[in-house]
Structure 1
Amino acid sequence: MSGFHPRCPPPTRLVRPVRVDPDGESGPRRGTAAGPSWRTTSHGFVVPADVPQTVEQRILEAAVHLPEGGMVTGWGALRLAGAAYVDGFAGRKPRPVPVLLPHTSRIRGPGVLVERTRGRLPDPVVRHGVPCAPSEIALLHELRRASSARAAGVMVDMALAAGVIDLERARHVATTRRQSPAAAYALERACAGCRSPKESEMLQVWESDVGFPRPLMNREVLDLSGRLLAVVDLLEVESGTYGEYNGASHRNRERQRRDEARADALRGVGLEGFVLVAGDSERVWRERMASARERALWLPEERRRWRLGAFVPAPPLPDTEEAALDAIMLEHYRSLE
């Protein structure tokens, strides 16, 4: 389990850019706008200089230039719907905001990636004052740009974890459009039980690379008296094998102490585990998975000393503005680790 949360906090300080106004009525005069109290967002548009430059603010600043009928799509629409995984960065470089336009429309302003269609545009969903493509369509647009089938699989799993798409609706929409092999793979094998990108990668290696049957994700493990022993990232009930991905939040001494206590409790009831950490190669992932499964006891249900509990979703988000902003920044910096 990692410190990642699949949903991002709702933006709380979005400010729509205004035009520079020679008369100073609907916006600041040119000389004032050039001063330290204002920040230029694009040609002729400004916001107050103290407006935080969050991902959502950048989407809003790009959306100011949308023509009639245009809408934000791709990662931008998913982000405004609440999906944390699509953070608008490629490494440290901001990605352009994808927009969907009628075929004959044009858009002015920097930082946008244009998609056009000759067909009927979907009815937009207005989020935080921005017209957005429905999330299922936005996801399909984003999947076209996935760097690999694995990356596409993570994207779909994280959209599901964030609760921003309906999987069956996305699959139906996909049948009406030409899709890449990566998108088809991602939608076919999608899992709603993953809570972090690394859990999705671990599941895909388990299933697609090693060829093991689909396990359960983020399930409680109880002893026979009903006492909670752990919530494990991956669990194959039949073999009694579990897996964990330990990210940066597991590196402090207290967390390591708790992790060892959990592992000991799980061994005590006959479960065999593997642990993956940052920096491991995928060869190591595959070897650890196969080795743990070979060591597993494969006990029939009547001989097991543990039982299965409930699925555990991601915890609620912080509800304060300060915590929300901290979470946005922390999420980005973790993505660079």
Structure 2
Amino acid sequence: MSELPRFRAELPMTQSPRALGVLAAQGVGPRSLAGRNWSRSSRGFYRPASDGPTLPTQRILDVLPLLGSTGVIGGWAAAFVAGADWLDGINPYTGGHFPIDIISPALKRRSSARTRYRKGQLAEDDVVAPDDVAPITAPLRTTFDCGRWAPSLEESVVVLDVMIQQLRVVRSELTTYASEHHSLHGAAQVLEAARWAVPGIKSPWETRLRMCYCQQAGLPAPLVNQPIFDLDGQFLGEPDLFDPEAGLATEFDGEYHRERHQHRADNLREERLEEANVTVQRIDSLDLIRDRTPLVERIRRGYQRGTRRNRRLDSWSLDQPEWWRRRNE
């Protein structure tokens, strides 16, 4: 059985905001609301306070009273509700929270650190209303909006890769949609991002690494999560990025890779690849967050080492053996 999307899994751990009038009728007065047991979610609405960081799902529920009759949740929050777990509203570079986007044809409120109001008309097909959740933008529209609102082409590609992988958005349909809405600000960025987007990513950081590899290091587009085998058909590894010409495997090490058993497995896999004459380089988020100049130089040096290797020692293959094809049918 597949795991529940994070939004659904977090719902039992959340509290719905209640209006002041409702709370007063329940015997909860101003003095209680001013204490540590209650948290103000928005003007005139409160909920029981929670320990620890606020879950993305709770943040979304907190803004529902602000929607009124015309508001629709968009952006990362709409993606998260629909099942894009990797778009959780947390800034990957600072750890801070992105505001929740509310789209409405009539703007009557000011944006804040929690919410960002965007004026816009949505077609009927652009909106869906999941059970027990307020209206959100449909996946195709969500991808388009997130892609055009992204602060850079790289982050736009991240959004597209995630939506293609986790919500099965079809790239050609997105390109058509963006072309039909070319007059909207940022549509050109979505069209450019669609040229870079690929299926099959395993994390957003993998996409950031790939964009750095191609755009900043200026190297040819690598294969993504390509299985590699030895000449006897034994599985060697599936690096995040692989350039067959350079025999270069570029791996992103997330927090998961620092866990002891996973770290050991990574080391063994790296040894197998290197024994087959594959050049391996490992990158983590700090390399991408900080000044990328040293990282770009490292990537280029790795590529140069790979292109200068003695190819007669290559004992790897991209040909998938029959047992692998059967397993993945």
1:92-103 paired onto structure 2 within 5 Å? 92-102=95-105
- Bigger mean CA offset, 290-299 vs 21-30: 21-30
Distance change in 2, residues 1:275/1:291 (3 Å): farther
Aligned-pair CA distance for 1:62: 0.9
The amino acid across from 2:38 in the alignment is W
Q: Does 1:204 align with 2:217?
A: no
Counterpart position of 1:169: 173
Question: Do the aligned residues in 2 keep the contact of 1:20 with 1:27 (CA within 8 Å)?
Answer: no
Scaled by the length of structure 1, what TM-score is found?
A: 0.75
1:176-215 paired onto structure 2 within 5 Å? 176-178=180-182, 179-215=186-222
CA distance in 1, matches of 2:72, 2:231: 54
Task: Could you tell me which runs of 5 or more consecutive residues in structure 1 were left unpaired when the two chains were aligned.
Answer: 1-6, 312-337
Counterpart position of 2:115: 112
Aligned-pair CA distance for 1:97: 1.0
Q: Does 1:247 align with 2:263?
A: no
Secondary structure at the aligned position of 1:88 is classed as: coil
Counterpart position of 2:291: none
Deviation track 1:227-255 (CA, whole Å, cap 9, x = no partner) reads 22222111233543322122344456655
Q: Does 1:59 align with 2:24?
A: no
Question: Do the aligned residues in 1 keep the contact of 2:179 with 2:191 (CA within 8 Å)?
Answer: no
CA distance in 1, matches of 2:23, 2:85: 41
Question: Do the aligned residues in 2 keep the contact of 1:233 with 1:245 (CA within 8 Å)?
Answer: yes
CA distance in 1, matches of 2:209, 2:199: 14
Query: What percent of counterpart residues are identical?
Result: 22
Counterpart selection for 1:287 from 297, 300, 310: 300
Scaled by the length of structure 2, what TM-score is found?
A: 0.77
Counterpart selection for 2:274 from 259, 267, 270: 267
Aligned-pair CA distance for 1:180: 5.0
Q: Does 1:144 align with 2:145?
A: no
Secondary structure at the aligned position of 1:93 is classed as: coil
The amino acid across from 1:125 in the alignment is V
Question: Do the aligned residues in 2 keep the contact of 1:239 with 1:298 (CA within 8 Å)?
Answer: no
Question: Do the aligned residues in 2 keep the contact of 1:221 with 1:306 (CA within 8 Å)?
Answer: yes
Q: Does 1:133 align with 2:137?
A: yes
The amino acid across from 2:48 in the alignment is P
The amino acid across from 1:158 in the alignment is V
The amino acid across from 1:126 in the alignment is A
Counterpart position of 1:41: 41
- C-alpha RMSD over aligned residues: 3.3
Aligned-pair CA distance for 1:76: 1.3
Distance change in 2, residues 1:130/1:246 (3 Å): same
Deviation track 1:267-326 (CA, whole Å, cap 9, x = no partner) reads 222323333344443322432342243134557xxx854344469xxxxxxxxxxxxxxx
Aligned length: 302
Question: Do the aligned residues in 1 keep the contact of 2:147 with 2:157 (CA within 8 Å)?
Answer: no
Question: Do the aligned residues in 1 keep the contact of 2:181 with 2:187 (CA within 8 Å)?
Answer: no
The amino acid across from 1:114 in the alignment is Y
Distance change in 2, residues 1:14/1:131 (3 Å): farther
Q: Does 1:229 align with 2:240?
A: no
Distance change in 2, residues 1:298/1:192 (3 Å): farther
The amino acid across from 2:68 in the alignment is P
Distance change in 2, residues 1:119/1:264 (3 Å): closer
Aligned-pair CA distance for 1:215: 2.6
> Higher relative contact order by CA 8 Å / sep ≥ 6: 1 or 2?
1
Question: Do the aligned residues in 2 keep the contact of 1:22 with 1:29 (CA within 8 Å)?
Answer: no
Deviation track 1:133-154 (CA, whole Å, cap 9, x = no partner) reads 1122122222333222222222
CA distance in 2, matches of 1:238, 1:123: 43
Aligned-pair CA distance for 1:87: 2.6
CA distance in 2, matches of 1:231, 1:266: 10
Question: Do the aligned residues in 1 keep the contact of 2:217 with 2:300 (CA within 8 Å)?
Answer: no
Name the structure with the higher strand share: 1
Counterpart position of 1:82: 83
Secondary structure at the aligned position of 1:260 is classed as: helix
Aligned-pair CA distance for 1:175: 0.9
Question: Do the aligned residues in 2 keep the contact of 1:210 with 1:286 (CA within 8 Å)?
Answer: yes
Deviation track 1:121-164 (CA, whole Å, cap 9, x = no partner) reads 64422245121011221222223332222222222222223236
CA distance in 1, matches of 2:89, 2:193: 20
Secondary structure at the aligned position of 2:21 is classed as: coil
Aligned-pair CA distance for 1:226: 3.1
Question: Do the aligned residues in 1 keep the contact of 2:248 with 2:303 (CA within 8 Å)?
Answer: no
